[in-house]
Amino acid sequence: MTVMKYSLAGLLSWSIAAVPTLAPESATEAPHTKTLSIDFEEIASLHVAGGYTVSISEGAPNVSLTGTEQALKQINITHEDNILSLSPLKSQQGFFTKLFNLRDEDSAQYRLTINITLPKLEALQLDNSSDAIINSDLGVNKLSISGSSSVKFTQPQTTRTMKLETFGTSTLNAIELKANTILLDLHDSSTVTIDTLNLRQSIKIDQSSDSKLFLKQAYGENLVLQGSSNSKQTIGKLGFDLAFFDLFLNNQCTIDSFKADSLNFKLRGNSRLVIQDGFAKSTKGITSGLAKYHFKAFKPGKTQIQAL
């Protein structure tokens, strides 16, 4: 196993070019910024922590960082087993150092512009309050977002299998996800917004706590949606051969238009399933407790629904 750690404090003596800056408007001189570029043989996965924002695009494996010398010295870069990790440099501070440290971590002096290029991105993990903007179809297979982090896909993603996990108050925004199978897990108070899910086979959605899913449209063969606690699903159009909804506690699921060969549902607690329009060839369901379903203009076809 080869582990490569980059001390940017040492690297700053080479491979850095000054970035032109406009004259400051105030009397205080703006800090000078520098750019550091690091090439890698391969980057398969990326882990970002500590409040950084990264822009990811297709290209040869490279990391480019632009910021003040102070900011460049505060980031730690590790490359191990083709996993690139970026995090703040950990330093030991005593009580008085912490007490009198008046540095504003969010000031422009300590911000970095981070651009990463790689041919394909197998896995991406964001912790704390990190953000990532993915500008190319990199075929992401696994995504994990926690804390108040965010991920935005500005281009459709195409892959065979995809697993997406969100925690904390994190957010995920995607234009289109194409895959054979997708597993989408939403936890805590995270929010996921997707324009289109294009499945060749199946998708399983598992939601808990106060998570929210906003989905404009999804198509495929099989759909399984499990929702619990106070989670919510707001969905535009669904088109699947087989669909199963397992909702309990206070889960709320609203669908504008739904078309399926077979619709099956199990509603418990105080959960709600509302389908505005569409049709199914057959519908089977079980309700218990205060759970309810409402079909407005939706035509359920051959129906078998049991209230326990």
Task: Return the structure tokens found at 58.
Answer: 């297709």
The per-residue pLDDT for 94 is 43
The per-residue pLDDT for 14 is 35
The per-residue pLDDT for 108 is 57
Report how far residue 175's alpha carbon sits from residue 153's, in angstroms, rounded to the nearest whole number. 6
Residue type, 169: T
The per-residue pLDDT for 51 is 87
Q: Which helix or strand (DSSP H or E) is residue 97 part of?
A: helix 95-99
The per-residue pLDDT for 19 is 34
Can you list the residues of the chain whose pLDDT is less than 70? 1-31, 91-110
The per-residue pLDDT for 237 is 98
The per-residue pLDDT for 290 is 97
DSSP letter assigned to residue 299: B
Query: For the segment 183-241, what is each residue's pLDDT rounded down to a tens digit?
Result: 999 999 999 999 999 998 999 999 999 999 999 999 999 999 999 999 999 999 999 99
Given the structure tokens 């007490």, which residue do they identify?
99
Report how far residue 193's alpha carbon sits from residue 175's, in angstroms, rounded to the nearest whole number. 9
The per-residue pLDDT for 80 is 94
The per-residue pLDDT for 111 is 86
Report how far residue 283's alpha carbon sits from residue 260's, in angstroms, rounded to the nearest whole number. 9
What are the structural domain ranges in the chain? 1-20+31-94+106-138, 140-308
pTM (two decimals): 0.87
CA dihedral 207, 210, 214, 215 (to 10 degrees): 10
Which CATH number applies to 1-20+31-94+106-138? 2.160.20.120
CA angle 6, 12, 16 (to 5 degrees): 115
CB 46 within 8 A of CB 143: no
